[in-house]
Amino acid sequence: MSDPSLLGSPALRRRLAALPDKSLNFDPASLVDASPANGWMVTDLCQPLPAEPPGPPVDGGSWQIARRLMRGYEFADPSIVRAYYDPEAPLEGRNMLLKLQALGVAHVYVGVRVNEVYEVERELEGERVCVWGWNYRTLEGHLEMGQMDWEVWKWLRDGRVEFHVHAVARVAHIHNPIIRLGFHLLRHRERQAFLDSTKRRMLTFTEMALSRDGSHEQIRDAAATLTARPGRGHDPAHETLARSAGGG
């Protein structure tokens, strides 16, 4: 059964319903040469996860658990970024309304669209890596322009498993002067808080799902505490994450 909380209130559903009519707020071709030298901020993050035996991903192993957590964006810290979307829509091409929350006191809604979902085997550093991932791109009205890729890797030779984030972004034109100033002051701080929390949550929930002691209730309760800022203990996002971690 789909989680109705993912669609949000009637007002949020109207915002979400408007996203298919929005275009990207940048030219994807500009990502080819994106670098700090021409105004883009490039972020790369790697969080090691529990390893598996060498070879392809193991049924019920950390690679598959991480993939489950990533499919619905449940790894995201809801005290900083909360996603609303139609869970019945395929992941590829899905429109998502993101609620960006700064310091827990101010927020803004922006839209993104999933560009592609992929599972590939790459040759890196002379070794084979099984990679599953997806990315989204920013839509008109977003505070930034660019793309974020979320991936889980398994190195086939030695069984290492890793969660990776690759982001390329630059500030979009922001009409509201108050939002423009606030975003300029808080952008880097909030991004770092989000990435730090994401790494911690992905590792903890993957470990708990692998553990016999990681029950649904324990994962749900841990989700309520593993946020960058205090939130509601009964937040439905924590229940959704617990179901995904457990494969429910």
Q: Answer yes or no: is pLDDT of 17 > 90.
A: yes
193: CATH: 3.30.530
Q: Is residue 228 part of a domain?
A: yes
Q: Is residue 98 part of a domain?
A: no
Task: Please tell me the total count of domains within the chain.
Answer: 1
pLDDT for 214: 60
Q: Is residue 21 part of a domain?
A: no
What CA–CA distance (Å, rounded) separates 94 from 87? 9
Residue 238: domain span: 26-77+114-245
Q: Is residue 9 part of a domain?
A: no
Q: Is residue 96 part of a domain?
A: no
| Residue that is written with structure tokens 């793309």 in the block | 147
For residue range 80-118, list pLDDT tens digits in order.
Answer: 899 999 989 999 999 999 999 886 667 899 999 999 999
Higher-scoring residue by pLDDT: 105, 171: 171
What CA–CA distance (Å, rounded) separates 67 from 184? 33
Q: Is residue 93 part of a domain?
A: no
DSSP element (H, E) containing 183: helix 177-210
For residue range 26-49, list pLDDT tens digits in order.
Answer: 999 999 999 999 999 999 999 999
Q: Is residue 200 part of a domain?
A: yes
Q: Is residue 131 part of a domain?
A: yes
- Name the burial class of residue 207, with classes exposed (0-12), middle (13-18) and buried (19+) by CB atoms within 10 angstroms of its CB: middle
